[in-house]
Each structure stands twice: as structure tokens, then as C-alpha cells.
Structure 1
Amino acid sequence: MWVLILGLIVFFSVHSVRMVAGGFRERQLEASPGRWKGIYSLISLVGFGLIVWGWILFRAEAPEIYEPPAWGRHVAMALVWIAFILLAANMRAGRINAYLKHPFLTGVILWSAVHLLANGDLASVLLFGTFLVYAVVNRIAVVNRIAVIPRGDPAPAVVRPGSDLIAVLAGTALYVVFVLWLHGWLFGVPLLG
């Protein structure tokens, strides 16, 4: 359990710098963008590695906190597909991105919430609950940051034709890879079979 908790602390500490110490982050980016991005990426990877390792170690012995509904896994399979599309939409200037403003965080909220529908053990509740809380808080922070930034007349967002189709295809392809292979390989939990 402690490896998982340490991973969550490391990962979300660095991801929360913009919310809690925006000025510090901006000074680091001004001084040396490459150094800041390198340190940020390294800490993120270490945290993510600890999260995956800690979850695998703890899940086998984690007590059940609640019994997930029988339909929870099926709903999770369907809605995680949409979450993957939202993650892909974050990279493209399409209607999905323009409408949601930050589809990546919306995808993380959806991904973590539906995983809580499918898993009731303490390891999963810690993992997905932490991601859910972080994504909701960060989404609120993003909205507040946008509201505070003084701007003149905002330039209309350029929507590229085909961006949403590319997001759907890329998200679907990544989802299929995860369902068929990567989820079982990374987390030891095959989704089919």
C-alpha cells in the first residue's frame, strides 16, 4: 500500500505545481524550459512507475471496500472508450476540444469514475479516487485560470476539419490496443477472456 501511496504523492505533487505554485513554475520555465520539462517528466515517470508497481503489489491483498455493481464492468468498458477519444481530442483543434475546453481532464474524470464502478478494492479506490479528485480540482483550477486572465476580444478558435474524426479513430485505436493487450501487460488484469 505504501508504494502506491508514495507513487500517488510523487506523481500528483509535480502535477499540482501549476495549481499551488504557478509563479514558481513560470520562473522555472523562464529560466530553462528544457530543464523544467525534463525534471517534471522524470518525476512524473517515477511517480507513475511507483503507482503501477504499488497498485499491482497491493491489489492482491487489498480489502474490498464495496461490492461494485454487476453491470459496472460493462459500463466501464463502454465509457473508457469515450475517455480515450477525449484524451485524443485534446491533441486536435476540433469541435470536441472547443466545446469541452479541456477534454483531457474530462477524459480522466470519466476514466477514473467508471473504474470506481468496476472496482471496489482499497487499492483501486485509492488509485482511481485520487485521479478523480485531482482531475476535478484541476478542471476547476483551469476554469478559474481562464476566467482571471485578462484578454481583449478572444480570437475565435480555429476548428480544423476532420480533427474530431482523427480523435475518434486515434482514441479507438488506442482503446483497442489497451483492451486486447496493454491493460493485461501493464497491470496484470486482462480485460477479455
Structure 2
Amino acid sequence: MTWLVLGLVLFLGVHTVSIVSPTGRNQLVQRMGESTFKGLYALVSFVGLGLIVWGYGLAREAPVLLYALPTGFRHLAALLMLPVFVLLFAAYLPGRIRTATKHPMLLAVKLWALAHLLAQSVTGGTLADVLLFGSFLIWAAADRVSLKRRAAAGLLRSLPLGPARARNDGIALVGGLVVYVVFVLWLHAWLFGVRPFG
């Protein structure tokens, strides 16, 4: 469990700088330089993600059961996961989906985390599940609130993504649903050893 917690602290920690200090990222960039900051940010994120994957795998070998849910929650989890990949595509494709959701990536993370907390209806929810998915859920909710505050204070840099196009929504919808089907039928079992539908 130690490696999982350390990975979460590293990965979510670097992604929390702007939540804790709205001007903190800009100050670090000025102090270190853009390329050094980005390199260090990427390195810490990569190490943190590696430790999360490794630590979660180790924690699954000796699970500490915290809760159990009725089997039907698995279907609710699958339904919640349906828009996740669409939202991830939409985060990089300006269109109505991106405009309506404002921050599609954060919404995708929240839905992914909540779905995985509910999906533990077969094996039961463990301490590792709550730590992993609960941490991401709390982080995404906190970042969404932080983004609203930073936007109101004029502290957000908007990335130039080009004009919103209906074609982008189509790409996000079709691409996201195709990736969802591939994940559900093959990729999830291959990567994580768990079949979403048994």
C-alpha cells in the first residue's frame, strides 16, 4: 500500500500545484524556466504513475475489503464509463461537447473514478480501490472548483485549440465509443486482468 500512496502523492501532488496556489505554477516556471519545469513535471508524473500501477498491483495481492455492492452496480458503472472516452477526445477537439462540459477531461476523470468505485460489486471494494479511485475523484472535483476560481481571477491561460467545429464532435463521439468498445471487450482484460462484464 505504501507504493500506491507514494505514487498518488507524487502524481496528484504535481497536478495539485495550481489548486493549492493559483499562481504557484507560474512562479515555478519563472524560477526554473519553462523547459526545466515541464521536464521535471513530466518526470515526477511518470514516476508517480508507475508507482500507482505497481502499488495497486501489489495491494490487489493482499486486499483489505471495505465494502460490497449489489451486482447491478456493475451495469451502472458500465453506463457511467460510456461517455468517458468521448470526453477525453473532446478535450482536444473543440466543439459543442467541449463547450458544454467546459472541462471534459476533469469530467471524464470524475466519471471514471466513480464508475470504478461502483464496479467493485463482484470482488468487493478494497482499501486500494478507495485510495486510488477516491483520490482521483476528490482531485478532479477540487481542480474543477479551483479552475472556476482561477478563471474568475483571470489566472487561466487558454490554449489555442482552433474554432469549434461540429465535425470534431462527430470524431469525439465515434472515436470515444470505438475506444470504449475495444476497452470493454479486450483491452481492459489485457492491461488489468479484469473483464468488465465477467
TM-score by length of 2: 0.86
Q: Is the 8 A contact 1:14 1:43 kept in 2?
A: yes
Give 1:103 deviation, angstroms. 0.8
What is the CA-CA distance between 1:15 and the residue it aligns to?
A: 0.6
How many aligned positions are there? 188
Q: Write the mapping of 1:81-160 to structure 2, written as runs, cut at 5 A.
A: 81-119=82-120, 120-149=125-154, 158-160=163-165
Q: 1-side partners of 2:110 and 2:99: how far apart?
A: 18
Of 119-128 and 183-192, the range deviating more from structure 2: 183-192
Is residue 93 of structure 2 the alignment partner of residue 75 of structure 1? no
Deviation for aligned residue 1:77:
1.6
Q: Report the RMSD for the aligned CA atoms in angstroms.
A: 2.0
1:36 aligns to what?
Answer: 37
Q: What is residue 16 of structure 2 aligned with on the other side?
A: 16
1:188 and 2:189 aligned = no
The amino acid that maps onto 1:19 is I
**Structure 1: gaps of 5 or more residues:** 152-156
| Deviations, residues 129-165 of structure 1 (Å, cap 9, x unaligned) | 00100000001101111112189xxxxx942121111
What are the superposed Cα offsets for residues 104-136 of structure 1, whole Å, 9 maximum, x if unpaired?
A: 101111111111111211111111100100000
CA contact (8 A) 2:66 2:126 kept: yes
Distance 1:44 1:147, change over 3 A: same
Task: Measure, in 2, the Cα distance between the counterparts of 1:24 and 1:144.
Answer: 14
Which letter maps to 1:50?
L
Assess if the C-alpha contact under 8 Å between 1:92 and 1:167 holds in 2.
yes
Alignment check: 8 A CA contact 1:85 1:171 kept? yes
Name the % identity. Answer: 45
Q: Answer whether contact 2:23 2:155 (CA < 8 A) is retained.
A: no
Match of 1:154 in 2: none
TM norm structure 1 = 0.88
Q: Could you tell me whether the CA contact under 8 Å between 1:52 and 1:187 is conserved in 2?
A: no
User: What do residues 62-91 of structure 1 show as CA deviations (whole Å, max 9, x unaligned)?
Assistant: 222111221111121222121111111111
CA gap of 1:150–1:176, structure 2 versus 1, over 3 A, is closer
1:164 to 149, 165, 169: 169
Alpha-carbon deviation of 1:28? Answer: 3.6
Residue of structure 2 equivalent to 1:27: 27
| Shift, 1:188, TM fit | 2.4
Shift of 1:36: 1.7
Q: Give the SS at the match of 1:69.
A: coil
Q: Contact between 1:69 and 1:117, CA under 8 Å: does it hold in 2?
A: no
Paired letter, 2:16:
S
Task: Report the 3-state secondary structure (helix = DSSP H, G, I; strand = E; otherwise coil) of the residue aligned with 1:190.
Answer: coil
Tell whether the 8 Å contact from 1:87 to 1:104 is kept in structure 2 after alignment: yes
The CA deviation at 1:23 is 3.0
